[in-house]
Each structure stands twice: as structure tokens, then as C-alpha cells.
């Protein structure tokens, strides 16, 4: 419970809703229209408005905004806008604070600190929720004296800057991995270096998918049970894992992964890949993933995973899915994929580079987790009056 005095949000700020644009209002030039996705993803493209707009809907750099509609955990929240003149759409509030009472930087942290309470008061359809202006205004946030707000905001700003730098380092390393593939092997779509093209079945020693009906083997601990969310861009993601106590059967042995296996998603989000690293504990796959076990004298698993995740690989997978009777891939689809096959020594050099960068990425992620934990700890202390 906060030891700081609390006030209702509506008593210290004015919330101005954005404009309800229609698709016919959109254009290719003019002022960018700020939507929720533009707050969550700075690289997301804009629609534009080229016309007369009331001043209340116009914003500029430095404005405090609050998105009040969307998917909880990804869309709700307070953001600063730093990309120049723009217009707001109807799913975002412009937050005008009484600067004699409130520091904007502190207020953003306070709003996001109470985001769970705000979401709990939200309502709407499944998956898409929103909060009304009245309910947001009635939500209470901790509000110490102005100078104390500024002191808290300055401390949190420093911790937030460290957190953001760690995330940027991760993003740059991941981009380096993607660009290295193109630099070494060229564009997989146009094949400018003229590599041989081989159907995937000629490079496989084994292919299988996971078993259905393993819900009865789920457990709170045990062996890893890998699903689509654990597979992306050639890497195994183990932040959200399930566990099973597998049966002692041929079926379990068939679906148990080995070092160097490439996992490929066969349904839903098609074409996600991961390479099983050295030293992974025994793990099994569900029915939405395939194990591709390779003749590593011919092809590196790291090269294949990167190729399948590239634009060239995904184009083939998308084409096969569209041609199919039902969504998803089957074994014949996968075996028929056309793989560019550079010399194995080049692939191995790329594999060594990937392993080295993956080690660096792991260190960055540990550092990022530590920075996030520090920020969360400071946030909790700040709004309990302990900072």
C-alpha cells in the first residue's frame, strides 16, 4: 500500500479524447494520425490527414498521451510523444496536467504504475478492452509534493534509460545476425551469387511432428515441452515454457529433440524456426512443430534456420500454405522447399558467427533482465514512499 498521498487522476489533469477518423479521412500526406500502434511501435507506419482540424486534437513533441483501448499488456498506458506535429485518433487521450501540481514525467510513471488497476476497471469485448474517461479520471495515483515528484522522476528516468539501452543492444545484435546472413549469402529471393538449389528432402535424415493428446502429461515441472511461442528467428525462446512428464514409449522418443535439430512451425504462425542448442535438457515438441534433422555434412542447421526465416524462405512457405486445402504445412510441403546451398565451409563460418553472437545476446538479455528488475524495484519503492 502506498504511503504517499493519493489523488484521483481527474483532479489534477484534463483528458481530451482524439478525433474519430474515418478511412475516407486518411491520405498519403499531411499530418500523421497517431494510433495506438504508433505509441507501442515507433517503427509502425502512419496514416495521414490533410485538412482542417480543431486545435484540441493537434499535438506536438513533449505531449503526454494515454492509450485507453486495445489489448491489455501491449496497448494501454501513458507515453510521451516526441515525433513532431500530429493529430490524435479517438483511442488516445491527450493528458493536460496542472503543472502547478504535477510533474509530467512523474505522472507518466504514476499512470503506468497503476496500469493493472486501470485495466481491472476496463470493459469491452474479448481481447479488445477499453476504459471510459470517467473511470480513468476516478482512478487514484500517488501524488507527493511537486519537488518530490521531480526527484522521483529523475531517479526513474536514469533507471529507465539504462533499461532502454540494454533493449537497444539486444535489438542491434539481432539485426546484426539478420544482416550478416544477407551479406554473406546474398538475397535468397534473387540468388545473386548463383548458389545451387536443392530440395530440402535431399538434406534431411529425419522429419517428424509432435504428438497430439499430450495434455494429460502436462506437469508443473519435468521435461521441456516446446511450442510455437518457443521458436522464432532461429532461436529457442525459453521465457514461457511448459513441462511434461513424458511416457516411456516409442512415441516419446520420436518427438524428443536432439542437438542441432531445426524446429519449424507447421500451423498458425508458419515458418518460425529455432536450432536446438548444445546442452539443452531433454525436450519434446507439440503437434504444431516439426523436427528437421539434417545431414550436417551438407547443410548447417544455423544456415537452414536463417534461410527459412528469411524473406525467400517465408515466400515459399506462404505460397505452399495458400495452395493447400487447409491452413498449415505437411511433410510433402516441407520436403519440397527449395534451399539455396552455398559451400558447407561458408555455412560453418556463419554458424560459428551465430554461436558467438548468441552468447553475446544471452549476456545482453541477462543484463537487460537485471536492468528491468532494478527499474521495477525502484518503481515499487517510489510509489510506496520508500525511495
Phi, psi of 129 (to 5 degrees): -125, 165
Q: Give the pLDDT confidence of 197-222 residue by residue, as tens digits.
A: 999 999 999 999 998 889 899 999 99
Predicted confidence (pLDDT) at residue 85 exceeds the cutoff of 90? yes
CB 111 within 8 A of CB 9: yes
352 pLDDT band, cuts 50/70/90, is very high
Query: Strand runs (DSSP E) across 173-329, as ranges?
Result: 196-199, 204-209, 218-219, 223-226, 231-232, 235-236, 242-244, 262-265, 273-275, 283-285, 289-294
pLDDT for res 322: 61
Answer whether 223's CB lies under 8 Å from 247's CB: no
Q: Check pLDDT > 60 for residue 73.
A: no
pLDDT tens for each residue of 249-288:
999 999 999 999 999 999 888 899 999 999 999 999 999 9
Instruction: Summarize pLDDT for 105-161 with one digit per residue, the tens.
Output: 999 999 988 887 777 665 544 455 678 888 889 989 999 999 999 999 999 999 999
- Cell numbers 539455396: residue: 340
* Whole-number Å distance between alpha carbons of 2 and 278: 47
List pLDDT tens digits, range 167-179. Answer: 999 999 989 988 9
Binned at pLDDT 50, 70 and 90, residue 387 comes out as: confident
Q: Which three cell numbers stand for residue 197?
A: 538449389
Half-sphere exposure in the Cβ direction for 334 (13 Å, CA): 28
- Contact criterion met (CB below 8 Å) for 118 and 139: yes
Q: Return the pLDDT at 25.
A: 84
Grid cell digits, residue 359: 552468447
Q: Which pLDDT value is given to residue 45?
A: 81
Res 75: pLDDT = 65
Choice among 43-52, 59-68, 106-115, 352-361 with the minimum mean pLDDT: 43-52
pTM: 0.76
Whether 1 shows a pLDDT value over 60: the answer reads: no
Proportion of the chain above pLDDT 90, given as a percent: 64
Q: Give residues with Cβ within 8 angstroms of 118, minimum separation 6.
A: 76, 111, 131, 135, 136, 139
Average pLDDT taken over every residue of the chain? 89
pLDDT of residue 125: 47
Q: Is 70 exceeded by the pLDDT of residue 74?
A: no
φ/ψ of 331, rounded to 5, equals -60, -40
Report pLDDT digits (tens) over 288-329: 999 999 999 999 999 999 999 999 999 999 888 765 545 688
**pLDDT on residue 371:** 95
Amino acid at each position: 500500500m502506498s504511503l504517499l498521498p493519493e489523488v484521483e487522476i481527474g483532479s489534477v489533469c484534463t483528458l481530451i479524447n482524439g478525433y474519430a477518423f474515418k478511412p475516407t479521412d486518411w491520405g498519403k500526406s499531411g499530418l500523421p494520425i497517431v494510433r495506438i500502434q504508433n505509441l507501442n511501435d515507433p517503427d509502425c507506419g502512419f496514416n495521414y490527414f490533410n485538412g482542417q482540424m480543431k486545435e484540441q486534437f493537434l499535438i506536438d513533441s513533449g505531449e503526454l498521451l494515454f492509450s485507453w483501448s486495445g489489448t491489455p499488456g501491449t496497448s494501454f498506458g501513458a507515453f510521451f510523444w516526441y515525433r513532431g506535429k500530429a493529430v490524435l485518433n479517438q483511442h488516445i487521450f491527450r493528458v493536460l496536467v496542472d503543472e502547478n501540481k504535477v510533474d509530467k514525467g512523474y505522472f507518466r510513471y504514476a499512470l503506468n504504475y497503476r496500469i493493472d488497476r486501470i485495466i481491472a476497471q476496463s470493459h469491452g469485448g474479448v481481447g479488445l478492452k477499453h476504459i471510459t474517461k470517467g473511470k480513468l479520471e476516478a482512478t487514484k495515483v500517488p501524488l507527493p509534493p511537486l519537488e518530490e515528484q521531480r526527484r522521483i522522476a529523475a531517479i526513474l528516468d536514469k533507471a529507465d534509460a539504462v533499461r532502454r539501452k540494454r533493449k537497444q543492444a539486444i535489438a542491434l545484435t539481432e539485426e546484426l545476425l539478420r544482416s550478416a546472413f544477407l551479406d554473406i549469402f546474398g538475397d535468397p529471393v534473387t540468388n545473386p551469387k548463383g548458389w545451387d538449389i536443392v530440395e530440402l528432402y535431399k538434406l534431411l535424415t529425419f522429419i517428424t511432428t509432435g504428438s497430439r493428446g499430450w495434455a494429460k502429461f502436462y506437469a508443473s515441472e519435468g521435461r521441456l515441452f516446446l511450442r510455437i511461442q518457443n521458436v522464432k528467428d532461429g532461436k529457442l525462446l525459453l521465457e514461457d515454457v511448459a513441462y511434461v512428464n513424458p511416457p516411456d514409449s516409442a512415441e516419446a522418443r520420436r518427438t524428443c529433440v536432439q542437438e542441432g535439430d531445426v524446429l519449424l512451425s507447421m500451423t498458425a504462425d508458419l515458418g518460425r524456426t529455432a536450432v536446438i542448442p548444445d546442452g539443452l535438457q531433454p525436450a519434446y515438441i507439440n503437434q504444431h512443430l516439426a523436427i528437421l534433422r539434417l545431414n550436417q555434412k551438407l547443410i548447417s542447421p544455423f544456415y537452414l534456420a536463417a534461410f527459412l526465416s528469411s524473406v525467400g524462405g517465408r515466400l515459399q512457405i506462404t505460397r505452399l500454405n495458400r495452395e493447400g486445402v487447409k491452413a498449415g504445412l505437411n511433410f510433402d510441403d516441407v520436403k519440397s522447399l527449395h534451399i539455396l546451398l552455398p559451400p558447407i565451409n561458408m555455412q560453418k563460418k556463419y554458424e560459428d558467427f551465430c554461436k558467438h553472437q548468441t552468447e553475446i545476446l544471452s549476456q545482453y538479455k541477462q543484463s537487460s533482465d537485471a536492468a528491468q528488475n532494478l527499474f521495477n524495484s525502484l518503481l515499487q519503492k517510489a510509489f510506496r514512499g520508500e525511495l
